Amino acid sequence: MLYFYFIFNFKKIFNKFNIMKLINSEKLYQRSVKTLVGGVNSPVRAFKSVGGNPLFIESANGTFIKDVDGNEYVDYVLSYGPMIIGHVHPQVQEFVVKTLEKGYSFGATSENEAILAELVCSAFPTMDKIRFVNSGTEAVMSAIRLARAFSGKNKIIKFSGCYHGHTDALLVEAGSGLATLSMPGSGGVTQASVQDTLIAKYNDIASVEKLIQEHEGIGAIFLEPIAGNMGVVVPTKAFIEGLNRIRKQHNILIVADEVMTGFRSCFGGAQELLGLETDITCLGKVIGGGFPVGAYGARAEIMDRVSPLGDMYQAGTLSGNPVAMAGGIATLTVVKEENPYAFFNDYAQKLSEGMLGFAKEKGVPLQVNRFGSMMNPFFSENPIQNYEDAKKCDTQKFASFFWKMLEGGMYLPPSQFEAWFLNTQLNDATLNKTLEVFKNSI
């Protein structure tokens, strides 16, 4: 009798504290670590900054994601941004399946490429033409080459904490995964690769002006209009105005990396809302609707330097893949029809105000940065305006917080330095549930 009494009450205690079962994830991790580097295909998925081993995901639908142990979560990762209208959206699913039935890849141009190009260019006033590639990294890598070809100058400026993919020239003082792993740079990146890369401080226009005074031959400034790889960091008005002035005064191209922010704050880019004057724009994530897509675009005189019209060579066998284009077309069509940006702002405001209120009540220092459908809570007493501020956050608190939120059914990025993303399938029920779990976790 005592045995059955113990088993019965153990189950009650187990359910009360919502202890997670991750048995299958652990088995798959032990299997994968033998043949995948670190058991993953992208570093942040390894959970190094929060401890423990990564979750393995089995399926997703709408705003929910489910792991291989059957645990279901409200998904605030959303594949790190692309799933803006939720997972397996009926309209996206239908169009992708129809496209698949016609073929997977042609190595030739298809109508889908023209349709998606028209959709994207119509959303960006500074973009006459576009070139599709396969990832955000590839888009930025190509934009570096294009900026140098058009300007005739080799040096570029980037900002500490801004991540632009793993291309050599910009993999210095990057945020996100490098910040998560406490790595200052990367092995295999030679000094020659970065000798023409200059580092400025985000939200500090004086640091940009100093570099211009000290160096000749600066052709372009690369930045995330909203920094999303040191957490969500919003630029000041003075910073944006200063960049616009420098662009004209010194004839330096502004390259906006909107791989993360494209279509997440308006139907177009954050650059329009911020008043940032740009020359080249890099895109990814949302424009593929969950499929591997990147792109770079600009006014015609710049893009006409790209082969086959000009002397800047760039190519890709799977660029403009018809299935990936279908995912982007369907996703952007739904976003344009629904125009969810007022909803995103309202949801983010209620969520951030609720989190700040509970944190204050419990005496936990917290900052919440947000812009459109992106947000990020920082465990810090001080506002976060640049990479230096972000690095002072309490990452140990975040690690504990991450696991408590996960146990409560909230799937968050496993890093203090990654943005949370919203999707159109969220509602009052998910908002209230998130705040309830946050209150218990804080």
Q: Are residues 356 and 284 in the same domain?
A: no
Residue recorded with tokens 């942040």? 44
Q: Cα–Cα distance between 275 and 64 in angstroms, integer? A: 35
Residue among 169, 136, 152 at smallest CA distance from 253: 152
Residue 389: active-site member: no
| Amino acid letter, residue 145 | R
Residue 437 shares a structural domain with residue 376 = yes
Residue 172 one-letter amino acid: V
Query: What does each of the 442 residues of the chain score in pLDDT, given as a tens digit?
Result: 443 433 334 333 333 334 578 999 999 999 999 999 999 999 889 999 899 999 999 999 999 999 999 999 999 999 999 999 999 999 999 999 999 999 999 999 999 999 999 999 999 999 999 999 999 999 999 999 999 999 999 999 999 988 888 877 777 755 544 343 333 356 777 777 778 899 999 999 999 999 999 999 999 999 999 998 888 999 999 999 999 999 999 999 999 999 999 999 999 999 999 999 999 999 999 999 999 999 999 999 999 999 999 999 999 999 999 999 999 999 999 999 999 999 999 999 999 999 999 999 999 999 999 999 999 999 999 999 999 999 999 999 999 999 999 999 999 999 999 999 999 999 999 999 999 999 999 9
**Cβ 41 vs Cβ 33: under 8 Å:** no
**Run of H or E residues at 66:** strand 64-67
Residue 105 has a pLDDT of 95
Q: Quote the pTM value.
A: 0.90
* 28 and 95 both lie in a single domain: no
**Which stretches within 215-340 are classed as H helix?**
237-250, 270-274, 300-303, 322-338
Whether 317 and 191 map to the same domain: the answer is yes
Residues 164, 251 share a domain: yes
The secondary structure element, H or E, covering residue 435 is helix 428-441
Are 381 and 326 found together in one domain?
A: no
CB 186 within 8 A of CB 166: yes
**Distance from the Cα of residue 403 to its chain's centroid:** 21
Q: What is the distance of C-alpha 49 from the center of its chain?
A: 18
Q: Is 3 an active-site residue?
A: no
Catalytic residue among 80, 285, 387, 389: 285
Residue type, 213: Q
Token representation of residue 183? 């790595």
Q: Which of 73, 76, 80, 163 is catalytic?
A: 163
Both tokens assigned to 57: 């995901």
Active-site pick, 67, 75, 204, 257: 257
Residue pair 284/133 in contact (Cβ under 8 Å)? The answer is no
- Whether 250 and 345 map to the same domain: the answer is no
What domain count does the chain have? 2
CATH number at residue 75: 3.90.1150.10
Q: Token pair of 102, please?
A: 């016609």
Same structural domain, 158 and 212: yes
Domain span holding position 332: 90-338
Q: Which two tokens stand for residue 286?
A: 């949302």
Query: SS3 helix, strand, coil % of the chain, rounded to 5?
Result: 45, 15, 40
Known catalytic membership, residue 257? yes
Q: Which amino acid is at 122?
A: S
- Are 385 and 262 found together in one domain? no
CATH of the domain at 203: 3.40.640.10
- Quote the pLDDT of residue 15: 39
Same domain assignment for residues 68 and 156: no
For helices 341-362 and 428-441, give the axis angle rounded to 10 degrees.
20
Asked whether residue 147 falls in the same domain as residue 174, the answer is yes
Last residue of a domain, one of 338, 366, 397: 338
Distance (Å, whole) CA 359 – CA 441: 10
Same domain? 144 vs 279: yes
308, 338, 368: which is the final residue of a domain? 338
Residue 343: predicted pLDDT: 98
Residue 317: how many CB atoms within 10 A of its CB? Answer: 8
Indicate the residue among 338, 356, 383 that finishes a domain: 338
Cis peptide before 184 (omega within 30 of 0): no
- Rounded to 5 degrees, φ, ψ at 51 are 80, 165
DSSP letter for each residue of 325-337: HHHHHHHHHHHHH
